[in-house]
Structure 1
Amino acid sequence: MLNLKEVDVSYLLDDPKEVDSFLEDAWKTGDSAIIMRAIGMIAEHKEKNKSQIANETGISRSAIQKVFSESGNPTLSNFVGILKALDIKLHFELA
């Protein structure tokens, strides 16, 4: 049996290029739960709690809780609001 230990790599989130790669990798999965977990990790690293995000976005704290849950599926406006609150810019590129 393979025995893996948990490693804290949050220090990588201090580097904007690493954050870009981290978010891009999450986005490429196409899995909204993974994407929101990555965004949640960035929020934690920036020490923004869900109440602060709720205050900055005008979204209720319970809605923020749901968005960051395993079954969360944010509306586009909630998603954009959360990105703005965390100073994350979304870029689009034609394939």
Structure 2
Amino acid sequence: MPELRRFDAAEFLETQEDVTAFLAEAFETGDASFIAKAIGTVVRARGTTEIARETGLSRENLYRALSGETRVEFDTVMRVLGALGVELEPKHRAA
């Protein structure tokens, strides 16, 4: 019988386009906890240690902040997104 493994989206985020699409879907939900978890998934995909080094945050703080269990500081989100090479663009609405 084949061994079952827990699905981990981080294993499938191979390109910047994958990351952009994944995060866009998360932001569409408008759910702050879900968005934080999605960012955490991308951090794991890219390497938590490297992102911690680039942001100046500890790995433990990244895990905690992006768990979806606590309220994450906006500054932390922006630092992490910057380290991931993700830029936020306002959604333009037709008048």
Compute the TM-score of the two structures, normalised by the length of structure 2.
Answer: 0.70
Alpha-carbon deviations, 1:45-80, whole Å to 9, x = none?
Answer: 22x11x433322123444322211232322111111
- Residue 12 of structure 1 and its aligned partner are, at CA, apart by 4.2
Root mean square deviation, CA, Å:
2.5
Total equivalences in the alignment: 89
Percent identity (aligned) = 28
Q: How does 1:49-60 map to 2 (within 5 A)?
A: 49=48, 51-60=49-58
Conserved? CA contact 1:12–1:19, under 8 Å: no
Deviating above 4 A after TM superposition, structure 1's stretches of 4 or more consecutive aligned residues are: 5-12
TM-score norm. by structure 1 comes to 0.70
Name the CA shift for 1:52/1:11 in 2 (closer, same or farther; >3 Å).
closer
For residues 8 and 54 of structure 1, what CA distance do their matches in structure 2 show? 20
Distance (whole Å) between structure 2 residues aligned to residue 9 and residue 74 of structure 1: 21
SS at match of 1:14: coil
Partners in 1 of 2:55 and 2:23 — Cα distance? 20
How far 1:27 sits from its partner (Å)?
Answer: 0.2
Residue 26 of structure 1 and its aligned partner are, at CA, apart by 0.4
Q: Which structure carries more relative contact order (alpha carbon 8 Å, separation 6+)?
A: 2
Unaligned residue ranges in structure 1 (runs of 5+): none
